[in-house]
Structures are given as C-alpha cells and as structure tokens.
C-alpha cells in the first residue's frame, strides 16, 4: 500500500455507531443516501465538509456499539482515506476491514490540530507535525482482505467460493 | 496448559484439541442469527455480489424480525418482505413478531458449548447458557451463511468471581452496570468476560442473560457464565441437549481476575451519553423524566415484569410520563398475562407493546423528542440513541425505571 497525505478531522473518545449513523437514517435505500447524516448528532456539518482523501483521527474505542455495517461503509463512501484511533471496538474493526476501510491504531489524537496535513506510510509510520509515529502492520490475512477491497472480493479472488 | 471456557468452545468449533488466546482459527459455526436491522443488506449482497450463491446449511440459520415490528412505514415493510421471501425460498426459519431476537434464540435454539454468530451486537447474551455468541456485521454473516464457517481470533479472558448474593432491591443489571463503570466502555475490548463463583451459580438463567447481554458495552467479544445444572435443566426442559458444559481448567490463563462481593453492590444509574458513566442512585441529582421504558433484550423478561407489577400495584404512572413496557417475547407476555401482571400494568396507566426491540433502539416505538429525558432498561444511552439528538437516556434497573414512572423523576421504589 502506497503512502498518502490527507487533511485531519479530529473526533474524541467513544465515537459510537449511533453517532456515525443514527438509527433514523438506516432505512434510507442506499449508503450514499445515508452518508450526509454521518456524525450528525455530534457534528451535523461534518459530513458535508469531509473531502475524498481526508483522514479521521479519534481517541479510544472508535465505533463502539451496534453491529450496523453501514457505519464503516458510510465512512468509506465519504472518501475517507483511513481512520486513525487510539483503539477500536471489535465489531466495527471487523466490519471496516470487511468493507475495505483502512484502520490504523495509533495514539496520535492528542498531538494534532484539526485541519493539519499528515502523511501515512501504511504498516510503517505516520509523519505529523514534524514528528514520526511508528505503526504496526496489519496481519497478512487482514491485509489481503483490505487490499482486495473487502471480504467478499478477497474470497472471490482466493478460491472462487463466493 | 489449561483452557478457558472461550478457548474450549473455539477448540471444539475448530476441530482441534487445544487453542490459545491470540491465535486465529478457522471454525465451523454451530448457528447463525440475523434480524431486520441488517438482513436486507446480507440478502442484497447474496443476490448481487456472489458468483455462486448458495447456503451451506439452512437449518443453522435463523431470521428474526424484531427491530421494527409491526412495520411502521413502507421501507421497513419492504425489508421484512425481503427477509420473508428469502427465508421461504431457502428453507430458513423465520420469526416475526414473536419476540426480541436474543430472547427467542435462548428460548428455542442456543445450546451450551456452541459457537454462534449473530448480526447484532448483543449476541453475546448466549453466554447465559454457556455458549459463545458474538456479534458480527452483515458481510461476516454472509460469509458464514454461504460457507458454514468463519475465522475467529481466540480472545483473552477476564474472569469475574462473584461471591454471595445481591441484596433485596439490587438486581443483576446493577451488578453489570457497576462492572462496566469499573472497567470502562472498552475495558474488555476483544476479550471474553467469564463469570463464575458461588455468586454466579446462585443467579437464574434470566439473571445470567442480563449479565452476558451487556458484556459488549464493555467492548467484550462475548460474556459467558460458567454453565451448571441450572443451564442443563433449562435447556433439557425445552427438549434440547446440554452436551458441552465447559468450565475453565484450574490452570487456565486469565488476563485478569476480578472479585465482586454481591452484597456490596447497590442500585446504580448509567447517565448520558455513555454506558460506563455510572452514578450510585443515592448520589444522583434530581432528574425529571418524560418517558420510562421497561423492555429490550437486556431486561424484558418475566422476572423484571414481576418487579414492575409489584411496584405498580395500587399506584399510578405519573400524569406527564409515558411508561412503555415491551415483554421480551410472546412466551414472556403470555406468562405475564397468566400471572395478572399485564392487568396491573394497564390499570396503573402503562402502555404495553408487542414483544420487540421497541424504545431501546430509537425507531419504531416511543421515540423521544427534543430535550426529553428517558429512563430505560435498554442496552445503550448513547447521544440520540432513543430519538432526538438533544434527548437524554438514563439506564437503570426495572425497579428504578418503574418507580421513576410513578414518581415522575428518577428514583428507587423505597422513596414512593
């Protein structure tokens, strides 16, 4: 995976799935219809401000709550290049990888200002504010899923089972 | 090296003699459950993305409509129809309007020692019967449905030794909320919460359900109460087999061991907007309420309805408060009818709904408006969870919720 640079949006701890996409919008027909409401209970303007290639940086326990897979899908559909958080809730973590959304675990949040540009070298490091933050690579089986663009595509590539 | 309950269940599902925390294993799933929250997405992917759509074993799959039942608009009606048609075409068991998915799974399917994937975060409830239930998204569910298997990372285990008995007026819900407050909303992230000790064995299956159900609110992959004769009795009384009552070996490796004296637990409230934001009820400032809710997969069973009826007998719900009650299943509902509980609730002014997820998930029934306050036995109190983003949700036991409905503010039954 090649390096990339993006603008940072800062979110706090415990960003739950009801904040990422509130229940009342789950009945909309497609994820593209839903994505304008992403993060609306917390920051209603945010979904309209995020541009493709931007990066979300958050605190601990990102994605806690429901198993609704629309949550990582919406973040991916907004064009977010990756999420960098101190830690993730496990169902969200699995769902994100299964949908081809890159997640990085790194305690970057407290050192950044919103709007800063940072450069990510996947599996290696993050350059931010003149400092370098080491990051560990994902296990190979998860990387395979991510690089294929999600679980279904990865399995089709691997064994045609699906 | 000894194994934990979670390790033994995964070893069995992986067909290997031994597994260790941190390993990734390919497993055969014993059972899969999906509800109307996301099943339509699974079905769309099944039809549109797969080259060879088929289902490994339809007898292991259960569809349950419980989130928006009865349908409240054409969109959810279409979701239900999609599930109904797919279930019929593929020979999948389908439940509509019979109860909350996890309650129906425990009543009708779950066996000790099973590994179960559910497309719902509270699938961790099945640990009440000594099973390993865990929540997944619809893509993982699809993969499981098509292949019959999946991969799991073996979780580390946090062991909770429970001692003694809860005092009168204190409930398992107070215990699990206290534990979540102590370890935090990600205190058990990726891990298994295992409950054992004389205090755990003293709890009924109903009470164990309450504990395991909220394990995910501490981030856990699952929660399991060490299964015993009570589990065997429950499962066998329903015509199922209890073949695998796994307990942790004496030399099993726990990441951490906690000890809780149950008689020291007191009534607590989870304040907005986080489940780990716990305050003892006696320290809570005055909070007026607009709505009270008794129900959800955490707390809508017969034990809780009995508590509510005992408090409401001869009393009335406060004029300005809506008190909404939704039994966890029709089996629970019928039992409550037989015991006269429903009469007591209605006479007191409660609204009794059909068995469904109801107020807990902020759709379908009892949605709260701008700046309104709800006290609830639901699973979560996230910002906007039960309605408008400015509304507030407090989580408490059935006793506190019912007493609050009478008082008009959050309080326990002793103050009425």
Can you give the pLDDT at residue B412? 98
Helix (H) or strand (E) holding B307: helix B302-312
Task: Name which of B51, B135, B274 is nearest A160 (Cβ-Cβ).
Answer: B51
Sheet with strand B351-352: strands edge to edge: B278-280, B268-270, B392-395, B373-376, B291-294, B322-325, B351-352
CATH 3.20.20.70 fits B269-415, yes or no: no
The Cα–Cα gap between A14 and B124 comes to: 20
- Please, are residues B366 and B326 in contact by the beta-carbon 8 Å criterion? no
Residues on chain A touching B137 (C-beta within 8 angstroms)? 67-69, 72, 91, 94-95, 98
Residue linked to tokens 């609830």: B376
- Please, are residues B393 and B413 in contact by the beta-carbon 8 Å criterion? no
The Cα–Cα gap between B281 and A123 comes to: 47
Instruction: For residue range B86-135, list pLDDT tens digits in order.
Output: 999 999 999 999 999 999 999 999 999 999 999 999 999 999 999 999 99
Output phi, psi for A102, to 5 deg.
-75, 125
Output phi, psi for B192, to 5 deg.
-100, 130
The Cα–Cα gap between B20 and B24 comes to: 9
Query: What CATH topology corresponds to A4-135?
Result: Aconitase; domain 4 (3.20.19)
Q: Which two tokens stand for residue A56?
A: 């979300």
One digit per residue, the tens of pLDDT, for chain B of length 416 reads 899 999 999 999 999 999 999 998 999 999 999 999 999 999 999 999 888 899 999 999 999 999 999 999 999 999 999 999 999 999 999 999 999 999 999 999 999 999 999 999 999 999 999 999 999 999 999 999 999 999 999 999 999 999 999 999 999 999 999 999 999 999 999 999 999 999 999 999 999 999 999 999 999 999 999 999 999 999 999 999 999 999 999 999 999 999 999 999 999 999 999 999 999 999 999 999 999 999 999 999 999 999 999 999 999 999 999 999 999 999 999 999 999 999 999 999 999 999 999 999 988 899 999 999 999 999 999 999 999 999 999 999 999 999 999 999 999 999 99
Can you give the pLDDT at residue A155? 81
Instruction: For residue range B335-392, list pLDDT tens digits in order.
Output: 999 999 999 999 999 999 999 999 999 888 999 999 999 999 999 999 999 999 999 9
Task: Name which of B68, B219, B385 is nearest A64 (Cβ-Cβ).
Answer: B219
Domain segments of chain B: what residues? 5-262, 269-415
Helix (H) or strand (E) holding A85: strand A82-85
The Cα–Cα gap between B80 and B416 comes to: 43
Task: Name which of B24, B51, B216 is nearest A141 (Cβ-Cβ).
Answer: B24
Residues on chain B touching A139 (C-beta within 8 angstroms)? 24
- Do B5-262 and B269-415 show the same overall fold? yes
Bridge-based pairing of strands A131-134 and B24-28 is: unpaired
Helix (H) or strand (E) holding B324: strand B322-325
Task: Name which of B76, B219, B363 is nearest A90 (Cβ-Cβ).
Answer: B219
Chain A residue with minimum CA distance to B134: A91
For testing contact with chain A, the best of B74, B382, B388 (most A CBs within 10 A): B382
Residues on chain B touching A152 (C-beta within 8 angstroms)? 45, 49-50, 139, 142-143
Question: Is A159 an 8 Å CB contact of chain B?
Answer: no
- Please, are residues B386 and B376 in contact by the beta-carbon 8 Å criterion? yes
B38 and A69 within 8 Å at the Cβ level: the answer is yes
Residues on chain A touching B221 (C-beta within 8 angstroms)? 90
Indicate the pLDDT class of residue A159, thresholds 50, 70 and 90.
low
Residue A161 has pLDDT above 90, yes or no: no
Longest dimension (CA), chain B: 63
A65 and B382 within 8 Å at the Cβ level: the answer is yes
pTM of the model: 0.96
Give the A window 7-66 contacts with B, CB below 8 Å: 14, 16, 18-19, 22-24, 26-29, 40-42, 60-61, 64-66
B50 and A162 within 8 Å at the Cβ level: the answer is yes
Residue A160 has pLDDT above 70, yes or no: no
Domain segments of chain A: what residues? 4-135
- Closest by CA to A109, choosing from A91, A96, A92, A126, is A126
The Cα–Cα gap between B232 and A34 comes to: 45
Longest dimension (CA), chain A: 46
The Cα–Cα gap between B255 and B373 comes to: 39
Task: Name which of B52, B135, B142 is nearest A67 (Cβ-Cβ).
Answer: B135
B37 and A18 within 8 Å at the Cβ level: the answer is no
Query: What CATH topology corresponds to B5-262?
Result: Aconitase; domain 3 (3.30.499)
Which residues lie closer than 8 Å to A36 by C-beta, 6 or more apart?
Answer: A47, A48
Q: Which two tokens stand for residue A151?
A: 């679980």
- Please, are residues A87 and A54 in contact by the beta-carbon 8 Å criterion? no
A152 and B76 within 8 Å at the Cβ level: the answer is no
The Cα–Cα gap between A128 and A60 comes to: 19
Can you give the pLDDT at residue A156? 82
Total count of residues recorded for chain A: 162
The Cα–Cα gap between A62 and A85 comes to: 7
Chain B residue with minimum CA distance to A155: B143
Mean pLDDT of A17-31: 91
**In Å, how far are A56, B403, B416 from A104, measured between CA atoms?**
10, 46, 51
Average pLDDT, chain A: 94
Give the B window 377-406 contacts with A, CB below 8 Å: 380, 382-385, 389
B385 and A40 within 8 Å at the Cβ level: the answer is no
A98 and B38 within 8 Å at the Cβ level: the answer is no
A89 and B219 within 8 Å at the Cβ level: the answer is yes
- Please, are residues B224 and B133 in contact by the beta-carbon 8 Å criterion? no
For testing contact with chain B, the best of A29, A69, A143 (most B CBs within 10 A): A69
The answer to whether the peptide bond before residue A93 is cis (omega within 30 degrees of 0) is no
B139 and A27 within 8 Å at the Cβ level: the answer is no
């Amino acid at each position: 995976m090649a390096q990339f640079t993006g603008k940072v949006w800062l979110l706090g701890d415990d960003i739950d799935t009801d904040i990422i996409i509130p229940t009342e919008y789950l009945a909309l027909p497609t994820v593209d219809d839903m994505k304008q409401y992403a993060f609306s209970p917390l920051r209603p303007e945010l979904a309209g401000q995020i541009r493709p290639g931007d990066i979300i940086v958050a605190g601990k326990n990102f994605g806690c709550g429901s198993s609704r897979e629309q949550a990582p899908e919406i973040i991916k559909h907004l064009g977010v290049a990756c999420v960098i958080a101190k830690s993730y809730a496990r169902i969200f973590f699995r769902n994100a990888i299964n949908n081809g959304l890159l997640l990085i675990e790194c305690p970057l949040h407290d050192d950044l200002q919103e709007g800063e540009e940072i450069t990510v070298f996947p599996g290696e490091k993050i350059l931010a504010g003149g400092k370098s933050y080491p990051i560990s690579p994902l296990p190979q089986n998860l990387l395979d899923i991510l690089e294929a663009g999600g679980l279904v595509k990865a399995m089709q590539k691997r064994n045609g089972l699906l | 090296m000894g194994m934990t309950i979670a390790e033994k269940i995964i070893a069995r599902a992986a067909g290997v003699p031994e597994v260790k925390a941190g390993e990734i294993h390919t497993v055969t799933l014993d059972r899969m459950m999906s509800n109307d929250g996301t099943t339509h997405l699974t079905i769309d992917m099944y039809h549109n993305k797969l080259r060879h759509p088929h289902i490994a074993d339809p007898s292991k799959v259960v569809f349950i409509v419980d989130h928006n039942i009865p349908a409240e608009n054409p969109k959810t009606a279409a979701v239900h129809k999609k599930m109904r048609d797919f279930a019929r075409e593929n020979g999948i068991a389908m439940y509509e309007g019979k109860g909350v998915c996890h309650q129906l799974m425990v009543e009708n399917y779950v066996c000790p020692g099973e590994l179960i994937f559910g497309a719902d975060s509270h699938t961790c409830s099945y640990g009440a019967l000594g099973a390993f239930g865990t929540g997944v998204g619809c893509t993982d569910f699809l993969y499981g449905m098509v292949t019959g298997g999946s991969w799991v990372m073996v979780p580390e285990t946090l062991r909770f030794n429970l001692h003694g008995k809860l005092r009168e007026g204190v409930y398992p819900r107070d215990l699990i909320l206290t534990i979540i407050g102590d370890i935090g909303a990600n205190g058990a992230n990726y891990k298994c919460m295992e409950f054992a000790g004389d205090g755990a064995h003293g709890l009924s299956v109903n009470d164990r359900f309450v504990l395991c159900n909220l394990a995910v609110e501490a981030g856990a992959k699952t929660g399991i109460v060490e299964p015993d004769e009570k589990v065997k009795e429950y499962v066998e009384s329903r015509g199922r087999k209890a073949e695998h009552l796994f307990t942790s070996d004496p030399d099993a490796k726990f990441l951490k061991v906690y000890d809780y004296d149950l008689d020291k637990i007191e009534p607590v409230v989870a304040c907005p907007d986080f489940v780990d934001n716990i305050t003892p009820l006696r320290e809570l400032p005055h909070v007026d309420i607009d709505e009270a809710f008794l129900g959800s997969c955490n707390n809508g069973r017969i034990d809780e309805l009995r508590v509510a009826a005992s408090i409401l007998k001869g009393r009335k719900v406060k004029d300005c408060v809506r008190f909404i009650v939704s039994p966890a299943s029709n089996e629970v509902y019928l039992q409550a009818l037989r015991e006269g509980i429903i009469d007591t609730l209605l006479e007191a002014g409660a609204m009794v709904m059909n068995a469904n997820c109801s107020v807990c998930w902020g759709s379908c029934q009892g949605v709260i408006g701008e700046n309104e306050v709800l006290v609830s036995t639901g699973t979560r109190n996230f910002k906007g969870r039960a309605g408008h983003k400015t509304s507030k949700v407090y989580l408490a036991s059935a006793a506190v919720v019912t007493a609050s409905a009478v008082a008009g503010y959050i309080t326990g039954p002793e103050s009425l």
